[in-house]
Amino acid sequence: EDQVTQSPEALRLQEGESSSLNCSYTVSGLRGLFWYRQDPGKGPEFLFTLYSAGEEKEKERLKATLTKKERFLHITAPKPEDSATYLCAVQAGSGGGADGLTFGKGTHLIIQP
């Protein structure tokens, strides 16, 4: 069974204090690693898809990295509007739900002014 674990569960930072959110997983054949942002009362908002080791993608203050051993979302100099729950998900390469995503529980990020 595919599983995704995110750490930490919650993170409180001061504005401008950079940090990383981690994602670990066990999956039978990774097709893609996804990152989403979810605000309270809303559906997940797509951020990135990574496919292979060594791949990096950036969007504003966010950078997603996928290596053979590390998968993390780095946030640089965050602002209060970056406060949200960040979800990591994987798409497996086989099985009945081959195209569906398996999600972690998320990291609840709070940026204090």
Q: Minimum distance from CB of 16 to other proteins (Å)?
A: 29
Longest dimension (CA), the chain: 45
- Taking the least distance from each CB to other proteins, the nearer of 16 and 97 is 97
Whole-angstrom Cα distance, residue 23 to residue 6?
Answer: 5
Q: Can you give the binding site for other proteins, defined by CB under 8 A?
A: 4, 32, 34, 36, 41-46, 49, 87, 89, 91, 96-97, 99-106
- Taking the least distance from each CB to other proteins, the nearer of 34 and 72 is 34
Q: Which residue has 């989403």 as its token pair?
A: 36
Q: Minimum distance from CB of 18 to other proteins (Å)?
A: 26
- The CA-based angle 96-99-105, given to 5 degrees, is 95
Q: What is the DSSP letter of 8?
A: -
Q: Minimum distance from CB of 97 to other proteins (Å)?
A: 5
